[in-house]
Structure 1
């Protein structure tokens, strides 16, 4: 209890300036949503009329009545002021579409999403444990030299689209086998399939991130001593997990918010009345009171999850952070095997190259939903178009866009992660905005276009990388070797360039590679929901959306695009194992001197302080050494 109280007091002291910054960000987000109809240059009355009754004629008198009823002529600022004033009295306003109060519909939707999030977290935890099981077993027995980097099964789990997993579970387990209910939300049994669809990909990503940190924990002195004294392997493995969890807690908090409001496609497929679906429908119909209230609820959830993650981190390693008594988790990695990445890259290039000469929009009505043949190796879709051709041509835009967004997210995440006081409130706020809602906001402001999904995903894609950077940087600053190096006169710039970045950048780069399939899936999800490319574009998301209704009759039209996505995930995961900084060239030492890669250069002399040479301190085993 004393530790928890101390952690809360420390968090309160450090969060006072951030609270003002977070409040400003939330206000900007809510105001931006309130201005959405006017920014998109659409008539809110017409959108609300279509949402209420699509068959009603939008005559001027009807539109005028709606404007008078909603007070649209008063302007967006007046409407926003009324909504904010109502919040102070516990009133979130009245829905523009249903005419009922917002809170009675919002609270149950939030409760449903929280239940789905809890089930998905349980599935994600089990999946992450399965991913790390081999490393835990070998590390606890001191046999990490026998460890071989995996990735294929994990990549398949991480790269499978949630909406595709949901569709397969509904059609196979729910409909054909009848083992579990598929549609609706009426009890615990209805939670199983949606939790699997949402939790499996999230658990695969978290498992890979934990598996990346575990070797460094098992190489620390306490783990070596425990293994030498015969401590039970389960105890050693448990302590290793406890040592690595603080570096993952910020991303776990982001997963909590993403699983709550970001599983819109899953809620659509399973007909779940969650807050993600409610927010999506409100955004499509421009029901501003519901949209603003739902977004505010997600922002508050993100802030609470981030605060709990920081409290948990202080409880786990707070004293070591204060005393600078940690060891670096990021040690030299053995060269990763290049066979699997080359194999996956070769297969992906072969598939794309084989389909490029084919016409992706040529129609053949006599060959609709045709099974794979020599003429059409991947079959045809509902319009008789060659699936292989559409996959290949869609790869040029989908993969290129995903690579560009991933590179931009990595750079922005690293830069803002080095400034945690600035980026942490921004991360907590943006993490509450699902890519679907970001796509709707961007589409409303800039209009629909080929780069709209990319910009929408890029707005939120950097936040997990920034959170990861901040968490690792915080631990690296509390390591013993950095404390000694700082005491010997090293300045901030020297520590950043020569110690901190070499330790933090490689794991964050591997994290960015792990998220490459996820970014491609976010782009595909926006296309699946009709917010991306429009027909007849061969975009992968649009491809899956067009063929998903025919999954039972022509499964090849969905399975082959999903297989290519899984191949991309396998390539990203196996290539991530080799992400490291190049070795720095050092001047070879004399016969009696220490090895060159164990000598650190002297930092520049600072005014008023004696010069101290860093060769007296053994250089830390960071990624660059």
Structure 2
């Protein structure tokens, strides 16, 4: 970990960061090239089944496919051939359909980028609504207590595929406001953009809402208020100050809106890049999978460079001159409603879990399929007649335990990699382009479908938001006047690490991890839904949502129980971020903002 201020960190591009991007991109493309050979199945058999759905091909047919595709040459020969074709503007042909790959990927990328822009617009609006109250009262020096962002927690905990199903059914089928299927024009973008943007906006808005009080309590804000400056100007400057630390969280969000929106694209029948990548990976159709992965890598690197440039534009010369004031949360008193909210959520969650543990989660009663809630079945039954309360209770410890372990490992890895500023930045940008579904396919090829494989797959990609946050916070801390003063007095690495760097990073990272805990549960659920994670009939909250999603219109209670449990968990997590008092602020002499 570099403890001092680095001039290389002042530039959005450097040779070390470029080397990190190239190395990480090459490693990712190589891993994708090995997918057909890592899966343990004959690639010729998988391709032949994808072509004709023939479950029992003859040896002669398999031999013909191997000779046609040159599978006996191995993955390196195919990777070299594909890269050589890219130089000439040819990405090869699909192993399944035989059609040229480049037009398919280009069309899918255009669709996904258009959908991403719409989702980003929704994200910005939702984030602004989440933090509007803090902006209003903070600029007028009326921010007196910490509050619980229950609305943000509920929206952030909404499963995107479940929200997509509800929007498609209600706004598309029942009301007929917008198309519920296909991609025919701007109207087709509205519902999927809402499904993707509302949870993402709640996540970004929640992080920003927790950073704004620290900006409003900086010396420049007190000075400006004492001189009678307009509250609107103070609010804009505080937003600019807090946004610089939250902005790196947009990188994994942008990529997730393009390559990770597989479930939403399937529900709305959108021919996007995420759906193309998943279909190619399942069929082991290597040319379109490699080309789509390269497109995601280039998109992630481009978005990372733009975000870095935007941060430097927001902070101005303070990063270079060491004039950045300290940004630590103020010691605000807790809201009176905070203990009540935490107690209610904890009691409700505990009641559901204990009541469920007293029932049999595996008992099947086909005569009691899709029964509504009753005294015998308080949460109703699923499509097989199993008691949903029992499955919810028995899946609680497994669901929350795995999600906590994945979150802890991801945060620790992100802290270490984010501290290596230049090489870490390139690695973060590239790995953030890898959808969790594709990571699940890669790990499943080695470990087989299991909860361990799904957890490893999520860990492979879930560290990137923490690394981006660590790099941004460390960059600001190194540019602060008090740290430069400590360096001038001869402070050693251990002192800087203990008194400057870790206090600047750990509180914000813990809040980020708690906010992302329900999202981790949902990502694990999506892998289980695709057969890459927890296998049935094991009860697990995410799997309950996934397997009951087709019945959401006919029997909404089948998804209401696990969705409520996720919301309670999310509110409890976000309440935990507001319980602690902020660290005592160091007295600084800065009177002007960055």
Same fold (TM > 0.5): yes
- The secondary structure found in structure 2 opposite 1:338 is helix
User: What's the counterpart of residue 72 of structure 1?
Assistant: 71
Q: CA deviation digits over 1:463-514, x for unaligned, max 9?
A: 1011101101111111122222222221222111112211221011111111
SS across alignment from 1:451:
helix
Work out whether residues 541 and 562 of structure 2, in 8 Å CA contact, stay in contact via their aligned partners in 1.
yes
Q: Residue 148 of structure 2 is aligned with which of 147, 150, 156? A: 150
Q: Which runs of 5+ in 1 are unaligned?
A: 1-6, 584-596, 599-616
In structure 2, the residue matched to 1:532 is: 533
Aligned mates of 2:194, 2:576 — CA distance in 1: 27
Residues 225-240 of structure 1 correspond to what in structure 2 (within 5 A)?
225-240=223-238
Could you tell me how far 1:570 is from its partner in structure 2?
0.9
* TM-score normalised by the chain length of structure 2: 0.94
Q: CA deviation at 1:245?
A: 1.6
SS at structure 2 position matched to 1:515: helix
Alignment of 1:469-480 (within 5 A): 469-480=470-481
Determine whether 1:177 maps to 2:175: yes
Distance 1:26 1:219, change over 3 A: same
1:256 alignment counterpart = 254
Q: Give 1:90's aligned residue.
A: 89
Whether 2:211 is the aligned partner of 1:213: answer: yes
- Let me know the Cα RMSD of the aligned residues: 2.0
Q: Which residue of 1 aligns with 2:549?
A: 548
SS state at 2:317 partner: helix
Question: Are 1:81 and 2:80 counterparts?
Answer: yes
How many aligned residue pairs are there?
A: 581
Structure 2 equivalent of residue 358 of structure 1: 359
Residue 4 of structure 2 is matched in structure 1 by none
User: 2:587 & 2:150 partners in 1: Cα distance?
Assistant: 38
User: Paired residue for 1:195?
Assistant: 193
Residues in 1 aligned to 2:146 and 2:451: alpha-carbon distance in whole angstroms: 41
CA distance in 1, matches of 2:327, 2:173: 47
What displacement does 1:11 show? 2.9
Residue 184 of structure 2 is aligned with which of 186, 194, 207? 186
Cα deviation for residue 359 of structure 1 reads: 0.6
Q: How does 1:131-142 map to 2 (within 5 A)?
A: 131-142=130-141
Structure 2, gaps ≥5 residues long = 1-6
Q: Is the 1:453–1:531 Cα contact (8 Å) retained in structure 2?
A: yes
2 CA distance for matches of 1:434 and 1:619? Answer: 43
Q: Is the 8 A contact 1:155 1:566 kept in 2?
A: yes
Measure the CA separation in 1 of the matches of 2:331 and 2:513. 18
In structure 1, C-alpha distance between the alignment counterparts of 2:356 and 2:408, rounded to whole Å: 27
Map Cα deviations across residues 118-137 of structure 1 (whole Å, 9 max, x no partner): 01111110110011011000
User: In 2, are the aligned partners of 1:302 and 1:431 still within 8 Å (CA)?
Assistant: yes
| Equivalent position SS for 1:295 | helix
Give 1:442 shift. 0.7
8 Å CA contact retained: 2:19, 2:426: no
Q: Which one has a bigger Cα radius of gyration?
A: 1
* Partner of residue 450, structure 2: 449
Q: Distance in 2 between matches of 1:204 and 1:391?
A: 25
- d(CA) in 1 for partners of 2:492 and 2:111? 51
Q: How far has the Cα of 1:580 moved from its partner?
A: 6.5
Q: CA deviation at 1:579?
A: 5.1
Counterpart for residue 38 of structure 1:
37
State whether residues 19 and 423 of structure 2, in contact with CA within 8 Å, keep that contact through their aligned partners in structure 1. no
For residues 418-470 of structure 1, give each alpha carbon's deviation from its aligned partner in whole angstroms, at most 9, with x where no partner exists. 22223211111110001111111111122111211111111111110111011
Q: Report the Cα offset of residue 259 of structure 1.
A: 1.0
1:506 aligns with 507
Q: Distance in 2 between matches of 1:138 and 1:570?
A: 23
Whether the 8 Å CA contact 2:322–2:479 is kept in 1: the answer is: yes
The aligned counterpart of 1:11 is: 11
| Residue 569 (1) aligns with residue 567 (2) | no
Q: State the distance in 2 between where 1:244 and 1:445 align.
A: 42
Q: How does 1:344-423 map to 2 (within 5 A)?
A: 344-423=345-424
Which residue of 1 is the match for residue 314 of structure 2?
316
Please give the alpha-carbon distance, in whole angstroms, between the structure 2 residues aligned to 1:465 and 1:8: 21
Structure 1 residues 476-485 or 360-369, which shifts more?
A: 476-485
Higher relative contact order structure (alpha carbons within 8 Å, sequence separation ≥ 6): 2
The normalised TM-score by structure 1 is: 0.90
What corresponds to 1:489 in structure 2?
490
